[in-house]
Chain A
Amino acid sequence: MDITIPALILCLPLFMFLLLGIAGCKMSHKLAGWLGCLGMGTCLVLSYFTAFTYYFDPQFVAENGERIQHTVFNLTWLQFTDNLTINLGFLLDPISALMLVVITTISFMVHLYSLGYMEGEKGFQRYYAFLSLFSFSMLGLVVATNIFQMYIFWELVGASSYLLIGFYYTKHSAVSASKKAFIVTRFADLGFLIGILVLSYYTKTFDFIKMTSDPSWVLASTEGATFMGASVLTWALVLIFTGGMGKSAMMPLHIWLPDAMEGPTPVSALIHAATMVVAGVYLVARMFPVYMMEGAATMFIVVVGAATAFYAAMVACTQVDIKRVLAFSTISQIAFMMVSLGVASLGNGEVSHHGLGYMASMFHMFTHAMFKALLFLGAGALIHAVHSNDYTAMGGLRKYMPITHWTFLIGCLAIAGIPPFSGFFSKDEILSACYAWSPYIGMWMSMVAALTAFYMFRLYFLIFWWNNPDYGHHKPHEAPLPMAIPLVVLAAVSCVAGFIPFGHFVTWDRMPYDIHLDWTIAGTSIVVAVCAIALAWKMYCKENGLPAKFKNALPALWDWCYHRFYWDELYMFITHKIIFNGICRPIAWFDRHIIDGTMDAFATVTNKASYAIRGLQSGQVQMYVWVYLIGALLLAGFGVLCLIM
C-alpha cells in the first residue's frame, strides 16, 4: 500500500494542532472550529479508505486466508544500539485498522458536537488544537510498529488528556483532576517503561511483529532468567500490563478516571470513554501472542479485570453525578474486555475456545466505543440543557428533549445487552468465552452484566422519568443541530453494529472465523438483563421511597459504594501523608540542615579556629620570642622523631 495516505492520516491532525495552536489565537472561533472539523473529516475519510482497502483488498490476505500484517512504513527515529531502535512506523493489521475507524469516527463526531457544545467558550481554538493533538497521538499509538513507538504516543495521549481535562484551568477541581490523571498514569507508565526495558534486554528488540510472529522465541530468549521467584517474562508482561492498567483505569489505578470527568463532556466521550482508555486493552491485544505464553500474566489480567468490573459496577449503582456513573460503567466495560482477553488464552501458548475471547474483546471495544460515546454525548446534551451534572437536577426530561431521550435509550439498551443492539452481541461473545474458560468467571461476569443493566437504567429512568421538577423560566431545550447529528449517527451505528460478522475481520490469529451465538448463554444473559431493567423500572420509574428504603436497608454497603470504597482517601493518605510529608519534607530538611549544614560547618569551624588562636599574636615581644624558642625546640624534637623512625 502506498505511503502517502497513511502518512497523511498521521500528519494531518499534527498539522492541525500546530496550525491551531500557533495561529489559533489570531483566528475567529468559527474558523478554528470548522478547520478542526475539516481536518478531522479528511482524516476520517482517509482512514475509512485505508481500513476498507485493508479488509477487502485480496493483496492483504495470504493464501491460507490469513490477513497479513502490513508495515506501510517504518522510519528510524532514534537508534539506541544496533538492534534496539525506535522506529516511527505504520503497522496495518486487523486491530489497527479497526482502531483507525473507531478513533476517527468518534473523534470526528466529537469535533462536530463540540461546535455546538463548546460554543462561545474562552479558548475555543485551544480546545480544537488539543483535540487534534489527541487524535494524532491516538492514531500514532494504534499504528505503532514497535513497543517503544507505542510508549511514545502513550505518553503523548497522556499529555493531551492532561491538557483537555484541565481545559477549564481556572477551576481548581479541573486542575487537580488533570494533575491526578497525569500522575497516576505516569506511575503506571513507569511500570510500562520498566517492562519494556526488561523485555528488550532479553529479546533485543522492540518490534511487535518480531515478538508476536514467533512468541516461543521470546520465551526461549528469557529462558531460565528469574527475578524474586517469578520468571522475568512474567515480570515484564505484568509490568507492561501495569501500564495498560493505568491508562485503562483498572483497579487499583482507576481513581483518575472519575475525576477526569471535570473536563468538557465531549472530551470525556472521546478520550475517557471511547479511545484512550481502551489503549490498555489494545496493548494487551497487540502483545497477545506473547501473553499467551505466560500463564501467570494472563491469570493476573483476568483477576484484575474481573475485580475491576464488579467493583466499578457496584459503585456505578450509587453515583449521583451522571458523568461519574458513565465513567464507572466505562471502567467496568473495559474490565470486560480485559477479562475476555485474559480468558482467550490458556497461558501455555494455547488459546481457549478458538481464541474467541480475543475477538469478543475487540468486538466489544468497537461497539462499546460507539454506544459509550453516544451516552456521553447524550449526557453532554443534558448537561448543556440543565447546566448541572447531577440527576437530582433532572427528571422527566423525555418531554423536553426527545432526540436525546431516544438516542440515550438506545445507548442504554446497547450497553445493557438487549438484542438487537450492538452491545448484546459483543457482550454475549465475551460471556461465552468466559464460560468456556471457567464457569465461575462466567457467572461472575454475568452478574456484572446484570448490574450494568441495572445501573444504566437507573440512570435512564432518573433522568428521563422519575419526577417532573419545575425548571422555572428557562425550560430545558433540545440539543442544537451540530450536537444532535452525532447523537443520531452514533445511535444508528449502535443499532446495526452488532450484525457485523466481526470474526471475519478480527481474530487472534487473523484467520477468518464464524461467530455462532451460543443461545443458552445468550438467552440467560438476556433474561438477566431484562430482570435487572425491570427492577430498575420498578424502583426509579416513578418517584417513590424504594431507593431510600434500599439505602437504609444496607447502609454500610451503600456508603462504601457511594464513596467508591474509599480508594481516593487511601491514595490521599499515601501521597500526602506518607510520600509528601514522610519522604519529601524530611529529605528537603536533611538537605538544608545536614548536607548543607556540613558545608557551612567547615566555614564556621575555620572561623572559630582563627578566633581561638588569635591569642598567639598578643603583641608582646617576649611572647613572640617565647613562641619562637619553643617552636625551634619542638622543630628539633620533631626532627629527632623523624630521625628515629
Chain B
Amino acid sequence: MNITLIYWLIPSLIMFCCGVYGFITRKNMIAMLISLELMLNAVDINFVLFNRYLFPGQMEGMFFTLFAIAIAAAETALAIAIIINIFRSIKTVDVQGIDKMKF
C-alpha cells in the first residue's frame, strides 16, 4: 500500500493531543515535562513530514526540526533545574501544591 502523508500525520496529531492531555492532567511536574516533550516531538514530526512529502526539494523543515530539538532539550534542562529548586523549598513536585500566588 501507498503510505500517504495523512497516515503519518495522524500519529503526530495523537502525540500532540496526548501531550496536551498529559500536561493538563498529570500532577507530577516531571510527568508534565514529559508530556511537553511529546508535544514538541509531534511538532518536529510535522515539520519533517511536510518537508518530505510536500516540498521534497528543500531542507527548511529538517533544519527547523534540528533546532527545535535543541531548544526542547534546553527547555527541559531549565525546567528540571527549577523543579529541583522548588522541591528543595517545599519538598514536593506536585503541581497543585504551587498556587501560593493567585487571583
Binding site for B on A (CB under 8 A): 614, 617-622, 625-626, 629
CA A620 to CA B23, docked complex, whole Å: 12
Tally of A-B Cβ pairs under 8 angstroms: 28
Is the beta-carbon distance between B103 and A621 smaller than 8 angstroms? no
Is the beta-carbon distance between A619 and B24 smaller than 8 angstroms? no
Is residue B91 within 8 Å, beta carbon to beta carbon, of the partner chain? no
CA A626 to CA B95, docked complex, whole Å: 14
Is the beta-carbon distance between B24 and A614 smaller than 8 angstroms? no
Is residue B88 within 8 Å, beta carbon to beta carbon, of the partner chain? no
Query: CB-CB contacts of B13-56 with A at 8 A, as 1s and 0s?
Result: 00000001001110000001000000000000000000000000
CA A626 to CA B20, docked complex, whole Å: 9
Is the beta-carbon distance between B102 and A618 smaller than 8 angstroms? yes
Is residue B90 within 8 Å, beta carbon to beta carbon, of the partner chain? no
Instruction: Please list 8 pairs of residues, one from A and one from B, whose beta carbons are closer than 8 Å in the complex, sorted by A's number.
Output: A614-B103, A617-B103, A619-B99, A619-B100, A619-B101, A620-B99, A621-B95, A622-B32
Interface of A is mostly: helix
Interface residue from A617, A625, A626, A629 paired with B102 (Cβ < 8 Å): A617
Knowing A614-B103, A617-B102, say if A622 contacts B20 (CB, 8 Å): no
Q: How many chain B residues touch the partner (CB < 8 A)?
A: 13
Shortest distance from the beta carbon of A377 to any chain B beta carbon, whole Å: 85
Interface residue from B20, B25, B98, B100 paired with A621 (Cβ < 8 Å): B98
CA A622 to CA B28, docked complex, whole Å: 11
Is residue B85 within 8 Å, beta carbon to beta carbon, of the partner chain? no
Shortest distance from the beta carbon of B30 to any chain A beta carbon, whole Å: 14
Contacts of A629 in B (CB 8 A): 20, 24
Contacts of B20 in A (CB 8 A): 629
Knowing A625-B23, A625-B24, A629-B20, say if A619 contacts B102 (CB, 8 Å): yes
CA A625 to CA B25, docked complex, whole Å: 11
CA A583 to CA B22, docked complex, whole Å: 69
Knowing A625-B23, A626-B24, A629-B20, say if A619 contacts B103 (CB, 8 Å): yes
Shortest distance from the beta carbon of A618 to any chain B beta carbon, whole Å: 6
Closest 8 A-B residue pairs measured CB to CB?
A: A619-B102, A619-B99, A614-B103, A622-B24, A617-B103, A620-B99, A626-B24, A618-B102
- Kindly report which residue of chain B lies nearest to residue A618, judged by CB atoms: B102
CA A77 to CA B99, docked complex, whole Å: 79
- Kindly report which residue of chain A lies nearest to residue B26, judged by CB atoms: A622
Is the beta-carbon distance between A622 and B95 smaller than 8 angstroms? yes
CA A629 to CA B22, docked complex, whole Å: 13
Is the beta-carbon distance between A618 and B99 smaller than 8 angstroms? yes
CA A618 to CA B101, docked complex, whole Å: 8
New A-B pairs, 6, CB < 8 Å, besides A619-B100, A629-B20:
A617-B103, A618-B99, A618-B103, A620-B96, A622-B95, A626-B24
